[in-house]
Chains A and B, each alone.
Chain A
Amino acid sequence: MPMTLAEKILAAHTDRPEVQAGELLEVRVDFCFGNDITAPIAIKAFRESGARRVFDPQRVALIPDHFTPNKDIASAMQVKMLRDFAREFGIPHYFEVGRMGVEHALLPELGLVLPGDVIIGADSHTCTYGALGAFATGVGSTDLAAAMIRGTTWFKVPSSMKFVYHGRLKRWVGGKDLILYTIGQIGVDGARYMAMEFTGPVIEKLPMSHRMTMANMAIEAGAKVGLIAPDEITRQYVQGRAQRPYTFFASDAHARYEVVHEWDVSAMDPMVALPHLPENVKPVTELPAIPIDQVVIGSCTNGRLEDLREAAAVLKGRKVHSSVRCLVIPATQKIYRDALNEGLLQIFLDAEAAVSTPTCGPCLGGHMGILAAGERAVATTNRNFVGRMGHPDSEVYLSSPAVAAASAVLGRIAHPDEVR
């Protein structure tokens, strides 16, 4: 039987030659992790189970990134649980402030998550590593606890949806626009329980950072994973980082897809998701003048170096609008340092944007940029649910870094070409 990329990776983590969509499997886990919100519950469950060790300390990570640097005493207590657990069980991949990063930017950067892996993370955006050709998916804390003990987890093998993107992307159009468009087409439950596989000539040329943005938001269509078959771009990204051997898998020629969507995206304009669902997508060119109060450029979706370069290209020599606060949050310490060395941070500071240490903070309304009632933000993040970035009466518009930067300059949601 021909298999999809998702089926092949899962089969390779069982003792069976092939598996099919719909089967329930227990699979080996190559890597698992949690953050300062989810890991405390996992740690409690782990301790209550009576387990005396984690299955492999090298394959577990604890990353305090959501409420860090600790925003209050309760958050500090949660982070301390991670730190104490990492020490007690000899887990080397615990990342203290100053060395940490937003988990989904940090783990690929360090070569800890790799092509062909099965990865579970107690965070829904774990699907980011599908960009590397890994079967990576978000789970709850209890699933993480079980995986830390046994090194296995169970899955229902998902059926697959194939997306084929044809054409040539216009300037200022990238991975964020492609995934917003896709979610706009299929809806926030359009890929519920399924594997999304992103393919076609546009994907073949798409840089890794843009691929990660796409895979990152597969969960926003309800998907279990968002996959891109590894290729030369993947090899170049992984080489020199990988801390373990890895495997490239690809779907068989006659693999079965539940649905195939083919789109020519040559005419696509930058996309914006309007409140309060990521499926509420419109081209920026079709929006009226929508005044804004805040811009956030960062997160696991768009906080990588390439994203900061894109924002800096728009902000260079310009000022953030007087009625807007613009927050730029490099996703890892390395990205922060690289942005400093490239002069990007200088551009942001000259534009009168604030540059923050890595944190998930504002994306989830945690800290470091909370919205008041009636305030409106353009963010390069992934969710625009009611109250996501603060007060339930605030609004979040999702966009690419270029659109976010242009909006910061003009004080309203804007196409980058409008910035003169």
Chain B
Amino acid sequence: MTRSTASYGSGDGATRMTGRVWIFGDDVDTDAIIPARYLNTSDPQELARHCMEDADPEFPTKVRTGDILLAGKNFGCGSSREHAPIAIKAAGVACVIAVNFARIFYRNAFNMGLPILECAEAVRDAHEGDTFSVCLETGDITNVTQGKSYRAAPVPPFMIELLRSGGLMAYVKKRQGLESRS
């Protein structure tokens, strides 16, 4: 199944990306992604400074723009805090590939314009530091380091619609005819 061209979030736009991967385990919860003690702000840069801190205290200093985050099953379980995808995106992570995602995180990631894909095989084979190449339009994932290719589960058409609109708020604006107002 082929994906439509999608423009993500507020103009990031990239649908092809290449980056080095960081690997996390199963059931990574939202308290690990961004601990509640930092939720007295929603400033993306401030949140990014503590991204994944309780899972790997070094992560915020190690991660580079364009890196790709890999994880096991049920990534993002726990709270509904949108700060979680915001923190990951602001830390520079280009895409999250997991075996699967917790429901609210999945929804929040699309609403925030953080690309996410589900692909158990790609996660299973990967070693930390491998270089991945991802095409969101097709769902194709390549582990460049190992020379292996994968195809991610397709994104439902309705989600593509949201992404095409540039995230949920842009979608709502379009539907409400609010764009013309200041």
Contacts and interface: CB of A to CB of B under 8 A. Distances in A.
A29 to B, nearest CB: 13
Interface stretch (A41-49, A108-116, A204-212, A331-339): A41-49
A264 interface: no
Interface stretch (A135-143, A310-318, A342-350): A135-143
Contacts of B121: none
B62 interface: no
A150 B40 contact: no
A325 interface: no
A121 B40 CA distance: 19
B182 A388 contact: no
A366 B176 contact: no
B181 A50 contact: yes
Nearest to A123: B80
A24 B156 contact: yes
Interface stretch (B12-20, B24-32, B87-95, B133-141): B24-32
Nearest to A390: B37
A74 B42 CA distance: 10
A221 B167 CA distance: 28
Contacts of B74: 188-189, 192, 222
A165 interface: no
Given A78-B40, A365-B37, A143 B31 contact: no
Given A41-B42, A49-B173, A74-B40, A383 B78 contact: yes
B80 A387 contact: no
Contacts of B168: 142-143, 146
Interface string A94-130: 0000000000000000000000000001111010000
A199 interface: no
Contacts of B40: 67, 71-72, 74-75, 78
Contacts of B181: 50, 52
B76 to A, nearest CB: 10
Among the interface residues A71, A141, A224, which one has the most CB atoms of the partner chain B within 10 A? A141
Contact of B103 (A142, A193, A365): A193
A364 interface: yes
Contacts, number: 144
Contacts of A365: 31, 35-37
Contact of A142 (B100, B111, B176): B111
Nearest to B182: A50
A130 B35 CA distance: 27
B107 interface: yes
Interface residues of B, number: 46
A192 B40 CA distance: 29
Interface in A139-181: 139-143, 145-146, 149-150, 154, 156
Given A51-B178, A189-B102, A124 B37 contact: no
Contacts of B107: 139-140, 143
Contacts of A146: 168-169, 171-172
B99 to A, nearest CB: 10
A274 interface: no
A366 B37 contact: yes
Interface string B116-128: 0000000000000
B173 A50 contact: yes
Contacts of B175: 150
Interface string B53-82: 011000000000000000001100111111
A392 interface: yes
Contact of B172 (A150, A366, A392): A150
Interface string A51-71: 110000000000000110001
Contacts of A298: none
Among the interface residues A121, A123, A224, A364, which one has the most CB atoms of the partner chain B within 10 A? A364
Among the interface residues B74, B79, B176, which one has the most CB atoms of the partner chain A within 10 A? B79
9 contacts: A49-B178, A66-B39, A124-B79, A146-B169, A150-B175, A219-B78, A222-B77, A364-B31, A387-B32
The 3 tightest CB contacts between A and B, nearest first, are A140-B108, A74-B40, A140-B82
Given A41-B42, A67-B39, A143-B168, 12 more contacts: A37-B36, A49-B172, A50-B178, A50-B182, A71-B40, A124-B104, A140-B82, A145-B172, A150-B172, A222-B102, A365-B37, A387-B54
